[in-house]
Structure 1
Amino acid sequence: MFRKFITCLILSFSLSYAFAAMMPADSSRNDKNDKNDYAKITKKATLERQGVFTVYESEKKWYLEIPDTLLNRYFLTVTRLIASPVGFPMYGGEKLNEQTIYFEKGNADRLFLRSVDYRQDAPEEDAIYGALLKSQQEPIIAALDIKGTNQEKNSYLVEVTDLFRKDNSVLSLASKIKSDNKLGSLADDRSFIIDMRTFPINLEVQTTKTYSTSSPSVAVGAQTFTVNTSMVLLPKVPMQKRLADPRIGYFANRFTHFADDKPRSETYQLIQRFRLEPKEEDMARYKRGEKVDPKKQIVYYIDPATPKKWRPYLIAGINDWNKAFEQAGFKNAIVGREWPESDTTMSLEDARFSVIRYFASEKSNAYGPRIVDPRSGEIIESHVGWYHNVMKLLQQWFMVQVGPLDKRAQKMDLDDEVMGELIRFVSSHEVGHGLGLRHNMGASSQTPVEKLRDREWLERHGHTVSIMDYARFNYVAQPEDNVGLAGIYPRIGMYDKWAIQWGYQYLPQFKDAYHEHDFLVKQLTDSLKRNPKLWFGGEGKGEDPRSQSEDLGDDAVLASTYGLKNLRRVIDNLVDWTATPNDDYTNLKNMHKAVRSQFNRYLYHVLKNIGSRYVTEKVRGDEGAVYAEVPKARVKAAVKYVNDNVFTPPMWLYPADIRQYLGNDDGKEILDQQQQMLNMLLSPGMMHNLYQKSLTDKDVYPLEEHLEDLAAGVWTALDYGKEANAYKRSQQRYFLEKMDVLINGSRTDGKNEIITQAQRSDVALYVSAFLPALQQRIQQLAMKAKSPLDKQHFRQAIEEIKRIQERKDK
């Protein structure tokens, strides 16, 4: 609930009474002791504007006339860049600060400006509500002298020149942005208000701010910014909260709830969403299940700085969300529009308008933040940031992942229609964030890998159940599958439609979020039972291998194996596909790097299955375990994948027709990756993890089998060719170094040893018991070796094992 509500009522009554007492017949004076300069200041004003506040500019100073009805009302303030210095890492339209504030009558004829940190609430009718108010003293950001009062309007006149012109924690750059970019003090003589406009529910203030800087890249020691601060009046009655559920992915604000009938406080999260409600005349139709237009449509505008040819595709990506809102009972819920450049009353920085902003940036990125009412989670507006070079990233993904499937991907400059369709799906993804949806990196795991090769199935369902996953293109499909565009591009899927339904359905039958919550929990439980593919896998930052970015399918090993087949086809054609007139092979170099990165993605998708667990959020009543081990067969297959594609040197990544143009140190890349894999798979932590799992779980990958499988991949005959054999010998020597560390610990100098976790447990015993079998394997390799160099290498390896064992015995 709005925790200032009771206080506001009391203040409103008392202030109304006070005005009657304090206002004299002559409105220029309160009494002979109280100065009232209202008439004097407003009479000299050269500018007067009416809106949520009345704005005056008088004798080069700026004033706000604030009616008493707006005291203790919440305002959301958002400060954004309009223009930034060259080289600054932020661009016009990006957010610099966001705060919730309110004005209140202070002492000594002043108005206080307070900042709000909404973290706790309680029912107003409960006794504990009074205690809560007393424990939430909010900081005074500014104390503004009242210059005059207006009896007819019941309003206060305050000067705000320095409030907006100078530096403060609410209406200027956030302190972290200043510290991160080495900005110092504000230069008073080079900072000023440009303009101040007022509208029915908001105030817009443009300022120029100049800061000193210690950044070595700035020669003149100062940086100047043009910024806009929006001060938007929040609804008097907040939208009803909707409490978050960990089984569905919404951005959410955390808060603590107190109540008289609860023996302890409870922590909740309220989801972020736009206010979407049926019109009063359509309420009955909505309750009957008919689709109706919302009372207020969600509108996204396109920045006029956006190249015209891309605007229709950005708009299409916005409008695609209507199919999801229809599942929540609303038609025409969201629309994309071009910015009305002829309307001078509108500003791109105005915090009432949601906009896709276009940044002239070398960054290859896009993002979708929101501005939110902290009391309710209501999204007031959303600014999607679109960096120009996101198209560079799209072209690279398209060629690397889809080149063998689609001829249109086999060139550096994509046709406008193709690039437009790629822009469209990224637009949908970022607008999804603007609507409140988090990433669902587990969505793609709900599609069986073999279905990714089924053209008919893909045309019906798409290759992932959510546009909010990082499942860029269908890299699993093979050329012979003849999969069309419908099976290659991501699109809004069943999870997205369900998530919008859950978050945006209108439920007026419940008096508050707490009564509504039980219904929503059961609704989600029942839906997941009927359709487990609606699983929310989170951001992909945990241990669950099903939830990863950039992956596809329910089997990482199989999906990555198919991906490598296509990647080999890309390598075979890369010189031709990257050719452009007068190119100096920069294209080839960049695209080869992109291929290498894709190779690494496949590898790490597989690796996450080793030593990890499946983690599924549950509530009481859900079936199944929260934590479950990855099956042994899948872990074993993952180790084999590493053996086949890393410990078998991947020379195919560096063919002669590419190497002759690049001059890369291919050997270092191969050796570094092989050592990295051994560091990971034979680390004390990994070994201890596998050992611990074997003590408590049944279908697990035993430690001794892990050692045997790795040895089978590393210790093979040296018949790969001269160059590859050198890499193989190096990895075999490094393998023995890892054996030594696991058994004997590592030395930081000649005396002090570091005791590893493996040594404290039984891991060292397992590794010691494994060495005789390894020694026997190497002896057999030595007998079969053909070259003197290989024979010598294997003999030295046997001697090294003896030294490791001797050191252990000592």
Structure 2
Amino acid sequence: MKKHFLFIILLLIAAPKLQAQTYQERTQKLTKYKGYFNFYWDEATGKIYLEIDKFNQEFLYVNSLPAGVGSNDLGLDRGQIGDSRIVKFIKIGPKVMLIQPNYNYRAVSNNTDERKSVEEAFAQSAIWGATAVATDGDKVLVDLTPFILKDSHHLGDRLGDSGQGSYSADENRSAVYLPNTKSFPDNTEFEAIITLAGKANGSEISSVTPDANSVTVRMHQSFIKLPDDKYKPRKFDTRSGYFGIEYMDFATPIGDPIVKRLLSRHRLEKKDPAAAISEPVKPIIYYVDRGAPEPVRSALIEGASWWNQAFEAAGYKNAFIVKLLPEDADPMDIRYNIIQWVHRSTRGWSYGASINDPRTGEIIKGQVSLGSLRDRQDYLIAEGLLQPYEDGKPVSDKMLQLALARLRQLSAHEVGHTLGLQHNFTASVNDRASVMDYPPPVVALNTDGTIDVSKAYKTEIGGYDKRAILYGYQDFPAGTNEDEALKSIIGETIKKGFLFISDEDARPSGSAHPQAHLWDSGNNAADELNRLMALRKSVLDNFSVKAIRQDAPMATLEEVLVPMYLIHRYQTEAAAKMLGGLYYTFALKNDRQTVTKMVPPAEQWKAFDALMGTLKPDALALPEKLIAMIPPRPTGYPRTRETFKARTGVTFDPMAAAESAASTTLSFMLHPERAARLVEYQSRDNTQPGLLSVLNKLVAQTWKAPQAPGYKGELQRLVNNLALKQILQLAANTNAAESVRGIALLQIDDLKKWMQSALPTTTDSRKANLLFGLAQIKQFEATPDKFQPAKVLAMPDGSPIGANADGVY
């Protein structure tokens, strides 16, 4: 017993010595990485120890995803940048915390007390904490491993929110990824293999993982030295087409706006600001992913390099350079602006993101992610247009050239985002004036019936893009009044006819601007829709087995048919915006722009006629010889989100294809917001069409129009039913304006009386149509606020996949 007691006493005496290892003792057997933050690697335990010698010094903290999930729908791609935040380490006793100050609220002032009052008024965030394991003067050592192995990209939450299952990071199946854990003079990089473990219940995650209960990715975290104070922020102008940052400045004089807005842009300075043409102090360099194959790689380099044309127009020489990423470079390294080639299980959106200094808006790193399956969709479209596969003849390279031309445009577009530019969805009406619009392939119908794709996409930067770069990056000589100079640039841009309209004004299907659309072409949406319908008719009339490769299953004709049958889908939406449309600008006081103007009535009726043209049986019908060529899907080739849905079981359903196209047109025409504008605008100007006139014409050209026999008559009755459903839904929609619902009710009552009067004298097929219509009206009248007709079949996914996706491109 005495021996045991003596052993305990000796152990207690020795314990403090065991715990009190010096800084040198803790680190002497570890591998040291020197850089912005020094850190140590412990091979024996797999731990990272961070040396902190910069307390209360702010730096930038960024998380990213270097190895992703591979699903466009989940949006967790390789190279995805997460949050950027300014942080700092503070020390209280042995405790170390990583604090995020609140830069949304500031006092830009030399008065310390004024700044302090704002800092203390709003909450900060402690985003991590640890206890020092050793100290050496002002330096402390902390075990950073738990921080590195956490789910920094919030994949668990994002998978849960998307219905894929419940996941959390499993430390036992996670580890530091040492090859990409490095330290440089201005940035320190940490990477880890992270396993999200849980119970999967979603089809998307199951489709892209070997075991959906174990999702293993890599997550990256960067500590970055903040830029110096020599960068000069540039004032944000809503007409400029740039992204920006904003914050509240409580040091602002009471007569000035308290919200401050600054442009997002790279730092670029001329060596000689007074010179008309000057080399930059430091060029903007972008690097292309070595994993992109040829000829894709060259197309990406060429397209991104177009931006040098814009910088040249702004007076710079060799200011924008595109290179191949060096072999030993880490794409996540903050020093490299990256154009990355990203693989997914399906085609999907591409992205242009950036890491910004939240204080000033300065772009520190641009990161472009381009979906690798997009070029195959363009190739597919070209196959449908050109019908290239003729027995015994070599296959033309026109499909490849069209796909590469699209990739150049795509590369330029996404790089544009990382230069600070938003989408500009009015550029297409001005000779495709910007790569920041969404471009459809502009194709023409030759007199001999062949299709010309030689000018499908632009081959250079647009005129608007040059003006935008001039505003964002022009370096003014000393003594210049920058505010006045910038106003002059915007004024000249407007005078040249360039207009900027944003995502928020173009994406919603009920939006009003008649020139702001995605994937449209031409300077008049209705005229272009008519032109496109004529081209579509020619393509469908001549559609044949030459659209698919030798030995391809005949059923795969449908894959090529889909984008041809629906080639007008986006132009239809564009034409619909002319109905109840409003021209407007982001005008400032006294800038001499037209603020608002209703679309002239004649233009609206032209759009109405063009839209009705897409609903006619002749437009919806497929040639009998083509329908007969498409058999049920063979084994190994199931229906997908990119083929038509069917109501006929395994067989190809041409009526379902027509239903998806026609219902989409009608939903655009009778969108509740558009209907409300039609009512309002006519009340202010009785020459405007008005909702009742639109409904009267719609019913006259559907239900009350002569019915053709056979297949085309069946298509007419399909459109009749769809039109009635849209009117009933408009009347039942409690979110619609009550005046709209009232006019819809009036139309329903008139149509009901007409149907009842037409019943005794009609044929059986039309009688069935009338009886079904009356039954739908009766169902609506029983419970109007709860009326829900059977769902219509949706179009196959579209732009670029998922018709309602909100991707960047």
Pairwise TM-score range, normalised by the shorter structure? 0.7 to 0.9
C-alpha deviations, 1:511-559, integer Å up to 9, x for none?
Answer: 9xxx84564245313431x212344454522421210001112211110
Give matches, 1:600-615, under 5 Å.
600-615=569-584
Work out which of the residue numbers 757, 766, 770 in structure 1 matches 2:738. 757
SS of the residue 1:369 aligns to: strand
Give matches, 1:79-228, under 5 Å.
79-82=64-67, 84=69, 89=74, 93-95=78-80, 97-126=82-111, 128-151=114-137, 154-165=138-149, 167=150, 169=152, 173=155, 175-176=157-158, 179-180=161-162, 181-195=164-178, 196-216=181-201, 217=206, 219=211, 221-228=213-220
Query: 1:795 & 1:389 partners in 2: Cα distance?
Result: 46
- Which residue of structure 1 aligns with residue 292 of structure 2? 306
Give matches, 1:479-518, under 5 Å.
485=454, 488-489=457-458, 491-507=460-476, 509=478, 516-517=482-483
Give matches, 1:286-685, under 5 Å.
286-289=273-276, 291-341=277-327, 343=328, 346-365=329-348, 366-399=350-383, 416-446=400-430, 463-475=431-443, 478=446, 485=454, 488-489=457-458, 491-507=460-476, 509=478, 516-517=482-483, 519-528=485-494, 530-538=495-503, 540-541=506-507, 542-662=511-631, 663-671=651-659, 673-674=661-662, 681=669
- Which residue of structure 2 aligns with residue 12 of structure 1? none
SS of the residue 2:679 aligns to: helix
The 1:146/1:797 distance shift into structure 2, 3 A limit, reads closer
Contact between 2:678 and 2:690, CA under 8 Å: does it hold in 1? yes
- Which residue of structure 2 aligns with residue 458 of structure 1? none
Code of the aligned partner of 1:464: R
Query: 2:674 & 2:375 partners in 1: Cα distance?
Result: 39
The 1:659/1:287 distance shift into structure 2, 3 A limit, reads farther
Code of the aligned partner of 2:367: H
Query: 1:349 & 1:401 partners in 2: Cα distance?
Result: 40
Code of the aligned partner of 1:644: G
Query: 1:547 & 1:794 partners in 2: Cα distance?
Result: 38
Contact between 2:35 and 2:186, CA under 8 Å: does it hold in 1? yes
- Which residue of structure 2 aligns with residue 72 of structure 1? 57
- Which residue of structure 1 aligns with residue 711 of structure 2? 723
Q: Deviation of residue 320 (structure 1)?
A: 1.2
Query: 1:147 & 1:673 partners in 2: Cα distance?
Result: 66
SS of the residue 1:363 aligns to: coil
Name the TM-score, length of structure 2 as normaliser. 0.79
The 1:227/1:537 distance shift into structure 2, 3 A limit, reads closer
The 1:309/1:80 distance shift into structure 2, 3 A limit, reads same
Query: 2:264 & 2:669 partners in 1: Cα distance?
Result: 41
- Between 1:758-767 and 1:636-645, the stretch displaced more is 758-767
Q: Deviation of residue 262 (structure 1)?
A: 2.5
Query: 1:223 & 1:793 partners in 2: Cα distance?
Result: 54
- Between 1:683-692 and 1:113-122, the stretch displaced more is 683-692
Q: Deviation of residue 494 (structure 1)?
A: 0.5
- Which residue of structure 2 aligns with residue 244 of structure 1? 236
- Which residue of structure 2 aligns with residue 50 of structure 1? 34
Query: 1:721 & 1:682 partners in 2: Cα distance?
Result: 28
Q: Deviation of residue 710 (structure 1)?
A: 2.2
Query: 1:614 & 1:159 partners in 2: Cα distance?
Result: 59
Query: 2:715 & 2:135 partners in 1: Cα distance?
Result: 84
Code of the aligned partner of 2:27: T
Query: 2:63 & 2:770 partners in 1: Cα distance?
Result: 70
Q: Deviation of residue 612 (structure 1)?
A: 2.9
C-alpha deviations, 1:43-97, integer Å up to 9, x for none?
Answer: 232x1222112222346342222333x6422223233233658999567632263
SS of the residue 1:646 aligns to: coil
Code of the aligned partner of 2:610: Y
SS of the residue 1:574 aligns to: coil
The 1:267/1:597 distance shift into structure 2, 3 A limit, reads farther
The 1:292/1:768 distance shift into structure 2, 3 A limit, reads same
Query: 1:435 & 1:625 partners in 2: Cα distance?
Result: 29
Contact between 1:50 and 1:199, CA under 8 Å: does it hold in 2? yes
Code of the aligned partner of 1:210: T
C-alpha deviations, 1:699-719, integer Å up to 9, x for none?
Answer: 411445324432442256546
Q: Deviation of residue 582 (structure 1)?
A: 0.7
SS of the residue 1:650 aligns to: helix
- Which residue of structure 1 aligns with residue 263 of structure 2? 271
Query: 1:701 & 1:675 partners in 2: Cα distance?
Result: 22
Contact between 2:96 and 2:129, CA under 8 Å: does it hold in 1? yes
- Between 1:434-443 and 1:500-509, the stretch displaced more is 500-509
C-alpha deviations, 1:84-123, integer Å up to 9, x for none?
Answer: 5899956763226323243333211333211244213332
Q: Deviation of residue 491 (structure 1)?
A: 3.5
Name the TM-score, length of structure 1 as normaliser. 0.79
Aligned length: 723
The 1:172/1:79 distance shift into structure 2, 3 A limit, reads farther
- Which residue of structure 1 aligns with residue 5 of structure 2? none
SS of the residue 1:140 aligns to: strand
Code of the aligned partner of 1:221: N
Query: 1:508 & 1:104 partners in 2: Cα distance?
Result: 40
Code of the aligned partner of 1:396: L
Query: 1:88 & 1:761 partners in 2: Cα distance?
Result: 40
Query: 1:759 & 1:386 partners in 2: Cα distance?
Result: 43
Structure 2 unpaired stretches of 5+? 1-15, 389-393, 632-650, 783-809
The 1:678/1:496 distance shift into structure 2, 3 A limit, reads closer
The 1:640/1:352 distance shift into structure 2, 3 A limit, reads same
C-alpha deviations, 1:144-180, integer Å up to 9, x for none?
Answer: 33344445xx533333222223x265x7758435654
Query: 2:426 & 2:72 partners in 1: Cα distance?
Result: 37
- Which residue of structure 1 aligns with residue 697 of structure 2? 709
Q: Deviation of residue 765 (structure 1)?
A: 5.7
- Which residue of structure 2 aligns with residue 457 of structure 1? none
The 1:422/1:265 distance shift into structure 2, 3 A limit, reads closer
Q: Deviation of residue 593 (structure 1)?
A: 0.8
The 1:242/1:358 distance shift into structure 2, 3 A limit, reads same
The 1:558/1:163 distance shift into structure 2, 3 A limit, reads same
Query: 2:81 & 2:319 partners in 1: Cα distance?
Result: 29
C-alpha deviations, 1:533-589, integer Å up to 9, x for none?
Answer: 344454522421210001112211110111112212222333244131211035421
The 1:103/1:801 distance shift into structure 2, 3 A limit, reads closer
Q: CA RMSD in A?
A: 4.1
